[in-house]
Amino acid sequence: MHRVFRFPSRGLLLASLAAAVACHAVNAAEPKPGGPLETTASRGVTARDPSTIVKHGDTYWTFFTGRGVPSLHSKDLVTWERGPRVLEKPPEWIAKEVPKNDGIYWAPDVMKVGDQYLLYYSVSSFGAMHSAIGLATNPTLDPKSPDFRWTDHGPVVQSRDGGDFNTIDPSIFLDDDGKLWLSFGSQWSGLKLVELDPKSGKRLKPDEPMTPLAAGQSIEAPWIYKRKGHYYLFLNRGNCCAGVNSTYHITVGRSEDIKGPYVAKDGSLMIDGGGTLVLDKKIGTLTGPGHAGIVEKDGKSWFSCHFEADDRMEGKATLGVMPIRWSEDGWPEVLPPDATK
């Protein structure tokens, strides 16, 4: 994966957070079947490669790429504030296993499993296949709780130069039967799936072959969602990290089995490079949507991702939270923030 990160100073970050207060409701220009859609859009929050948004108590949390895995929290998915980092200092295993890493950890994902939150994060370096996905756990996301403490558990999966896959961009999925899965990957031979032990968060069978999910040029950032008997695999194609020149876009396919095959609406296979477009590379003032997620709020579903560049923020990455609805034949439709302008 070829990533270049440009993080704003703390002052610029706080300024961008303040801009979120100005977010307002927008209405669908042409409501689709199913009735009018009330929508809100969260914009102006700097966060690259955001995790799935999770709710703890009355607060929503997301984690994103940065030093030590930074976080944001919100009461309403519109106004966001900076939270604590997950890792205040690098875990000791990283220096040995991924010595070229610079303390910036990429594309985390988080979920509550049992009585603890599992947070997976990527450890790599620019353009390298020498990577690992680490795991940290916490019984709570409330920094004010006496139980709040992130504990690192070391690497879960690793890749090395000379192989054909890359262990970055982790995504966690808990199935209805209690099985826990981790999808991940970037570039090379594509995206992979492994089963996890729900108790430890580590691989259930470390020697079991990985399941290939999707392949093709410029592929990364998998995320799995289940709805009405189908597993939906969202992923990114295109090139990231180029600001307004980014070609990042999000596609999806679905399957009746979590291991695939994942099929696009036109019948093409994601393992062969197929996929149905969810968000295109350029939407109004926004460029390069990436790292899909879905969160429930007030009985409605909301789609989250970053946009690699926002013209209103001098090209900085922006967190987006948008309504998602489903067509009669079961395909997702996302209303971008600028859709009505």
pLDDT for 156 equals 98
Instruction: Output the pLDDT for position 86.
Output: 98
333: annotated active-site residue: no
Residues shown for the chain: 341
**What is 87-145 written as a DSSP string?**
-SS--HHHHHHSTT--SEEEEEEEEEETTEEEEEEEE--TT-S-EEEEEEEES-S-TTS
What's the pLDDT score for residue 16? Answer: 32
Catalytic residue among 49, 97, 169, 308: 49
Tell the burial category of 229 from Cβ atoms under 10 Å away from its Cβ (0-12, 13-18, 19+). Answer: exposed
Fold of the CATH domain 10-334 = Tachylectin-2; Chain A (2.115.10)
Q: Which of 152, 220, 308, 310 is catalytic?
A: 220
The per-residue pLDDT for 285 is 86
> What per-residue confidence (pLDDT) applies to 318?
87
- Domain boundaries in the chain? 10-334
Walk along the chain (341 residues) and give the pLDDT tens digit of each residue: 434 333 332 222 222 322 332 222 222 222 233 333 333 445 456 789 999 999 999 999 999 999 999 999 999 998 999 999 999 999 999 999 999 999 999 999 999 999 999 999 999 998 789 999 999 999 999 999 999 999 999 999 999 998 889 999 999 999 999 999 999 999 888 999 999 999 999 999 999 999 999 999 899 999 999 999 999 999 999 988 888 889 999 999 999 999 999 999 999 999 999 999 999 999 888 999 999 999 999 999 999 999 998 877 777 888 999 999 999 999 999 987 654 44
Residue whose token pair is 């089963």: 195
> Is residue 311 annotated as part of the catalytic site, yes or no?
no
Cβ burial of 282 (10 Å; 0-12, 13-18, 19+) is middle
Taken in order 66, 67, 69, 70, is the CA torsion positive or negative?
Answer: negative
- pTM value? 0.87
Question: So what's the pLDDT on residue 44?
Answer: 52
In a 13 Å sphere around the CA of 307, the CA atoms on its Cβ side amount to 32
Q: Among 158, 171, 190, which residue's Cα sits nearest to residue 1? A: 190
What pLDDT is stored for residue 21 in this prediction?
25
Around Cβ 146, how many Cβ atoms within 10 Å?
7
